[in-house]
Amino acid sequence: MKTNRIICLAIALLTITVCLAFAEQTIIQYDCIPNYANWGGVTKAYQKKTGIQIPPDMKGSSATMAALEAEKKSPKADCAYYSGAIGFQAASKGLHEPYKPKGWEKIPAGLKDPNGTWWTVHSAHVAILVNTSALKGKPVPRSFNDLLKPIYKGMIVYDDPRIHGTGFTFVSGINAVLGGGKDLKAGFDYLKKLDANILKYAKENSYNELLRGEIPIWINADGNGLKAKNVDKAPIEIVIPAEGTLTMPLVMGLVKGAPHKEETKKYLDWLLTDEAQHLMAESYFQPVMPVKLDASLQAKFPPKSAYTKAKVLPLDQLAAQADGIKKRWEKEIEGGR
């Protein structure tokens, strides 16, 4: 009996040691969706390089901020990734602590907080991603106005802006693209009309559904469409709408009270290296650092002329309006269904 107890105790101690070792080899990044911006490839490369795992996390930007708020007294995450306005808002709520990763000085001034509570890691633009096979002979829409045509009824998806940052960027920014005023009326009037053609407001990432043609039209980041076309070889066309589009910086922050702070700082440093920035560019998200891409890769990005009408919206203004915009969308758009 004594021998058995000793064996059981030894096994228990070994299990605890293994669990602690595993914990030390893990960094938790909220909003780490493998099929968005090549986070799957980025985290795999980092694990190969260091042995540290960064598990997938399917939260969107707003869901990430909500989780960090709920866990504020006992943080579970080490770092977080967001669309710019939501990251700005999360930092304003005191959910991040200052950190300036290596290479900080090379990030343009408008794409980082001077105190280091958030910084851009790459950028994208809102685009119309079209699975041409799923259109079944219908013409490819060329503008936001085209999306209102009855022929696209039940074919269009955009992300729920209460959960996902890309959806929030579209909902909050369409007003500016259409030339609306401060009351956002033009934007919400458009969203109400678009609702007639909506298949769903996606709460989960819709990348694979776009590939399979289950979603014919997805309003999302241009990089996701370019990856679907060039990497996954799906019949995808990436449309930069005729009216213009929205530039979307995507940002990182070090979580206040991060359980693995020192290891996370090293990871955040690495995300700004040429290696990591190239991996992100392989999913067609624009690097924030001045890295030189292979000519063959660069040629697959849309020309700069495609973005001449792109709007750059002030992150501080968007962050200040964020809660109100989400509530208004919930009441006037989702609630009106």
Write down the architecture of domain 124-247+304-334 according to CATH.
3-Layer(aba) Sandwich (3.40)
Looking only at the bridges linking them, the beta strands covering 236-239 and 119-131 are antiparallel
CB distance 89 to 118 below 8 Å = no
pLDDT in tens, the chain (337 residues): 444 454 444 344 444 433 444 445 899 999 999 999 999 999 999 999 999 999 999 999 999 999 999 999 999 999 999 999 999 999 999 999 999 999 999 999 999 999 999 999 999 999 999 999 999 999 999 999 999 999 999 999 999 999 999 999 999 999 999 999 999 999 999 999 999 999 999 999 999 999 999 999 999 999 999 999 999 999 999 999 999 999 999 999 999 999 999 999 999 999 999 999 999 999 999 999 999 998 999 999 999 899 999 999 999 999 999 999 999 999 999 876 5
Q: What is d(CA 205, CA 61) in angstroms, rounded to the nearest whole number?
A: 12
In sequence order, what DSSP letters do the residues of 15-76 get, joined into one string?
A: HHHHHHHHHHTB--EESB-TTSTTHHHHHHHHHHHHS-B---B---HHHHHHHHHHTTTS--
Q: Is 262 helix (H, G, I), strand (E, B) or coil?
A: helix
Domain ranges of the chain: 26-121+249-298, 124-247+304-334
Paired strand residues for 220: 127
Q: Do domains 26-121+249-298 and 124-247+304-334 have the same CATH topology?
A: yes
pTM of the model: 0.87
Structure token pair of residue 206: 């819709």
Give first-to-last CA distance, the chain, whole Å: 67
Q: What is d(CA 192, CA 179) in angstroms, rounded to the nearest whole number?
A: 17
Write down the architecture of domain 26-121+249-298 according to CATH.
3-Layer(aba) Sandwich (3.40)
